[in-house]
Amino acid sequence: MSDMGDRQGSDNTTHFGFKTVREDEKAQRVAEVFHSVAAKYDLMNDLMSGGIHRLWKRFTIELSGVRSGNRVLDIAGGTGDLTLKFSRLVGPEGQVVLADINDSMLKVGRDRLLDRGVAGNVTFVQADAEALPFPDNHFDCITIAFGLRNVTHKERAIESMLRVLKPGGRLLVLEFSKPNNPLLSKVYDKYSFNVLPVMGKLITNDSESYRYLAESIRMHPDQETLKAMMEDAGFVRVSYHNMTGGIVALHRGIKP
């Protein structure tokens, strides 16, 4: 499956879930989704995944190779799950930047981390993944967990991440992907389009946002397509690990 969201013709339109919208409209619509769900985001993640998202994130941390003194960028860091772990790994000599384009998510993440006593080595930046406001060759590791599918121009974002990584630095993309079993795929589709919107309605009084999230997962590039996009941007030794039958994949690439 090609990344139609990035290459939807020359009329400056893109995908917002299954809808076609103007490119300048998409960012605002995605922002509205996350403004709506920010307060209950963690609860919904636990309910939607049965808590398995914590295992996916733990594997991401393990594969990151982050150690004391490193500089880490957590893009689309939301409520700060990865940032919390990274802040402990890098220690007082290191630095973690939690970046999110959405102000509501950033505030929830900042409040949550401050409540847990995380302060000294973490900074919070409202930033667009397509145009990261950081110098070249700056970070040892970048993670983006469940955020890339919401980016309008994914190639631009991947190139921007490459630019701000140090040579030898690692990018890890944790994202919903394509199940590798047809039966699992059918079950997953029914769950996504029938159960998620109902759950969203009950927990956040917002079924439409969760319908969008289900649709955005289907429009995201499959494992091989995303691997090729990372290689095209300039990453080397790109690999991916399927988790939970390919429902989620973790891609990893190195800046040469």
Mean pLDDT of 113-138: 94
The reply to whether 213 falls in a domain is no
129 annotated among ligand-binding-site residues: yes
Residue 162, in any domain of the structure: yes
Domain membership of residue 215 (yes or no) is: no
Domain span including residue 59: 51-179+227-254
Averaged pLDDT for residues 31-46: 65
**Which is it for strands 19-22 and 13-16: parallel, antiparallel or unpaired?**
antiparallel
Task: List helix spans (H) across 116-206.
Answer: 154-164, 182-190, 196-204
Question: Domain with 60 in it: what CATH number?
Answer: 3.40.50.150
Question: Residue 135 contacts by C-beta under 8 Å, 6 or more apart in sequence?
Answer: 164
Write out pLDDT tens, residues 208-244: 877 887 888 888 999 999 999 999 999 999 999 999 9
Q: Report how far residue 189's alpha carbon sits from residue 67's, in angstroms, rounded to the nearest whole number.
A: 38
Q: How far is CA 119 from CA 83, 88, 111, 128, in A?
A: 11, 11, 10, 23
Total domains in the chain come to 1
pLDDT, one tens digit per residue, over 155-183 is 999 999 999 999 999 999 999 999 999 99
Whether residue 135 is contained in a domain is answered as yes
- Asked if residue 120 belongs to a domain, the reply is yes
- Top-confidence range, 15-29, 98-112, 132-146, 191-205: 132-146
pLDDT band at 75 (very low <50, low <70, confident <90, very high): very high
Q: Is residue 241 part of a domain?
A: yes
Cβ atoms of residues 116 and 95 within 8 Å? no
The answer to whether 128 is annotated as binding is yes
Residue 154 lies in a domain: yes
Q: Is residue 216 part of a domain?
A: no
Sign of CA dihedral 173, 61, 51, 208: negative
If we measure between CA atoms, which residue out of 120, 63, 64, 115 comes closest to residue 91? 120
